[in-house]
Amino acid sequence: MTGAARDAHGRSPVEIAEWSAGLAADAVARLQRLADADDGTPAPARLRARAALAGLRSALDPGAHTCPGCGVEHGDGRLLLADESGRTRAKIRRMRTEARRVGGEFGELLGLMADRLEIEIDTVDAFEGHLRELHARIITVLEEAIRNPTRPESAAVLNANLQGFEDILEGAGIIEARAQWSEDQRRVIETANKSTAVQALPAGVVSTDTLAIKAAIRDQSEAFWATKVVGPDAALLREGLRSALTMESLPQAVERIAERLETSRARAVTAARTEAAIFDRTVNLTVAEKAGLQTFFYGGPEDGLTRPFCRAMLEAGKVWPLDLVGQLDNRQIPGALMSAGGYNCRHRFMALSPAIAERRGIEAATDTDVRRVNAAAARRRRR
């Protein structure tokens, strides 16, 4: 029986469909941002974007269907806008199945790699949920202040300075959100320590119960929320209400603030995803260094969304000495050990002892492998 035809990049029909779905979802998101732009984008451009968006959604999905990401029936083209984390969680389940099949120490390490990816998704999903709730509370506070402007607390809201808005944001639930963020960071450290324990190596990071680690996690969490959420949102609230003094009524200003908070949330979620990935990779690299490991294995989901760089790394299936990792070039972000395949990459380098690699029969990468992987990334760059 002849197998299904593959394209020039070796993708099966199912993988081509998944890859195309990702491209279409990105196109829909870009058109939506352009259609909703309030940054001076010319009106004709916004109108064309809205027309293209309507046509694309209609062509992609004329009826209702069951979403493979969340199992819920959607319509109006939302199949391709299904939650990205839902698709990745499905891939994580497959990774765990494969880890159980492999078994032994290496299987345990593959399972821990799946844990790392799931923790990152948990972190970002929780962050987005907290932020959505936070923004809803802020709008409720503003609407209440408009309805009852004579109340002292209403005057304090409507006349607040930047520090006042930061205090309002703090009171709307950020403390709880920061606590969840810190808890997820502790999970990252614990998972990294498990990877050294599986390999019978000394733990590279001290216990998460120590005061020093707790303080470091707290400081990092507070710094992220201050620079990516509280500061930007406080400035947005202040400027939004100031516009009511010259151009808009208060209700109009609040409506505009709600729209801008949507944009702000999208940027913050992207920042959260980047921050979570950097923390994970930094912790695991620190563990590897302190445990004396200088060889790494590359792993993660393989599907139609996998970049050529990552696909070449996964197909190689080799253990990479640190010096060769330093020669890898994903053509997006310098330093593949920290950035893996580039922006929003779902893959990871996992520190792997030479002893386990030898027992599993995993070959060491060579200069030839470096050239092949880099060539795959370069071909993608030129298209």
Q: Are 322 and 364 in contact (CB under 8 A)?
A: no
Please name the residues in contact with 25: beta carbons below 8 A apart, sequence gap of 6 or more.
Answer: 80, 81
Structure pTM?
A: 0.69
Please name the residues in contact with 236: beta carbons below 8 A apart, sequence gap of 6 or more.
Answer: 257, 260, 261, 264
Each of the 383 residues of the chain gets a pLDDT tens digit; together they read 444 566 666 666 656 665 666 667 667 777 777 776 666 666 556 656 666 665 555 455 444 333 333 333 333 333 333 346 677 788 889 899 999 999 999 999 999 999 999 999 999 999 988 888 888 888 888 888 888 877 777 777 777 676 777 777 777 777 888 888 888 988 998 898 898 889 887 655 556 666 666 777 777 778 888 888 888 888 888 888 777 666 667 778 788 888 888 888 888 888 888 888 888 988 888 888 888 889 999 998 887 778 899 999 999 999 999 999 999 999 888 889 988 988 778 899 999 999 999 999 999 999 999 999 999 998 854 44
Neighbours of 61 (CB within 10 A): 18
Please name the residues in contact with 160: beta carbons below 8 A apart, sequence gap of 6 or more.
Answer: 167, 168, 237, 238, 241
Please name the residues in contact with 245: beta carbons below 8 A apart, sequence gap of 6 or more.
Answer: none
Q: Residue 79 has what pLDDT? A: 33
Q: Residue 167 has what pLDDT? A: 77
Distance in angstroms (rounded) separating the CA atoms of residues 365 and 324: 8
Q: What's 362's DSSP letter?
A: P
Q: Residue 5 has what pLDDT? A: 61
Q: Residue 136 has what pLDDT? A: 87
Distance in angstroms (rounded) separating the CA atoms of residues 331 and 31: 26
Tell me the CB-side half-sphere exposure of residue 382, using CA atoms within 13 A: 6
The DSSP string of 295-337 is EEEEE---STT--HHHHHHHHH--EEEHHHHTT---SSSS-HH
**E strands in 92-188:** none
φ, ψ for residue 149 (rounded to 5)?
Answer: -70, -20
Give the bridge partners for 364, in sequence order: 319
